Amino acid sequence: MNKKMARVPGVSFFLRSLLVVIAGVWATALAAETPSHPKLTRGKILYDRNCAFCHGEDGHADTPVAKLLQTHPRNFADPVEMARVNDNEIHEAIKEGRPGTAMAAWGQVFSELEIGDLMDHIRSLTLPRPPTLTTEQLSVEIGRRIYKKDCVECHGVDGRANTEAAKVLRPPPANFADPVETARMDDGRMYSAIKLGIPGTSMGGWGGLMNPAEIIDVMRYIRTLEQPLPPGMSKSGLDVTVGGNIYRKYCISCHGEKGDGDTELGNALAKLPRDFTSAKEMARLDQKKMAEAIAHGKPGTAMAPWNGILNPEDIRRVTLFIRQKFQHRP
């Protein structure tokens, strides 16, 4: 804690020492004389003596001391802030503190019973959620705050990933505004990217810092950043464009720009890739057969299964692209 505070500019030596004393020795001394009041009242007395200094009597954390802290305490009164904070987290924060912040460990100071009283008091400070705020809106609002704090730097305020940081990143951060890009981000893929990160990129995993509900909150918010289709692009135009992107990313090395499989890699294969420009060959391949071959591959050939990488929507789109964009010679 001292290390963190020492970095706060403008905090005099006196105030710094005072903070150290307050959070440590003073707290211990005061906590020793625990009054025997009913549960809630006891929580309040303990809280007002030991915690209000930073967290504020009403939980707003807008005390003069709190303003000086580098890691600012959460507003206990704000129902949005508190909606995803579970009892385990509160208990652990009180008992073990938050290393690297001004939040000291109180486990040696308070009994489990007293920690329980403090927890009840903290909960009682939280104002009720406004009845006009639906569960969905609450989720989006929590997601917006997480996004603003943790994601903006790379993905940008409006999700367009046009930040300074994004300019130097390879691959660039995902663009959440572009409907062509978001078309491939199904919920499962997004969830796993946020929880586990994407290996080999600057997209780190947030699973250690966010609980599952918070991951869903931030996903909900990200969906609100998506812009409508560009003028002149229909839903099926989008499908073909997305299919083309998939083709260029995963298929072009064998099947070629023209779709005839006349590539260096394609020609080197024992079994040549299907010629998508041959009307005769394509006539034998209906939508279902194509989708099947893409999902599960063609055993004994270089055509691998893609179902771990492409979801059914992706597969539908790439087959549309193959059918519509390649010239079919007789």
Residues that bind ligand HEC (CB under 6 A): 19, 23, 50-51, 53-55, 69, 71, 73-74, 85, 89-90, 93-94, 98, 101-103, 106, 118, 122, 146, 150-151, 153-155, 169, 171, 173-174, 185, 189-190, 193-194, 198, 201-203, 206, 218, 250-251, 253-255, 269, 271, 273-274, 285, 289-290, 293-294, 298, 301-303, 306, 318
Contacts made by residues 86-93, CB under 8 angstroms, sequence distance 24+: 86/211, 87/119, 90/119, 90/122, 91/115, 91/119
Q: Please, what is the minimum distance in Å from the beta carbon of residue 192 to ligand HEC?
A: 8
Q: Please, what is the minimum distance in Å from the beta carbon of residue 92 to ligand HEC?
A: 8
Q: Between 132 and 320, whose beta carbon lies closer to ligand HEC?
A: 320
Start-to-end C-alpha separation, the chain? 76
Q: Between 85 and 133, whose beta carbon lies closer to ligand HEC?
A: 85
Q: Please, what is the minimum distance in Å from the beta carbon of residue 7 to ligand HEC?
A: 13
Handedness of CA 305, 307, 309, 312 (dihedral sign): positive
Q: Between 69 and 177, whose beta carbon lies closer to ligand HEC?
A: 69
> Could you give the CA distance from residue 34 to residue 43 in angstroms, rounded to a whole number?
10
Tokens of 97: 């503190």
Contacts made by residues 159-167, CB under 8 angstroms, sequence distance 24+: 159/222, 159/225, 159/226
Q: Between 48 and 132, whose beta carbon lies closer to ligand HEC?
A: 48
> Could you give the CA distance from residue 290 to residue 132 in angstroms, rounded to a whole number?
49
Q: Please, what is the minimum distance in Å from the beta carbon of residue 330 to ligand HEC?
A: 19
Q: Between 66 and 229, whose beta carbon lies closer to ligand HEC?
A: 66
CA angle (74, 194, 242) in 5-degree steps: 135
Q: Please, what is the minimum distance in Å from the beta carbon of residue 169 to ligand HEC?
A: 5
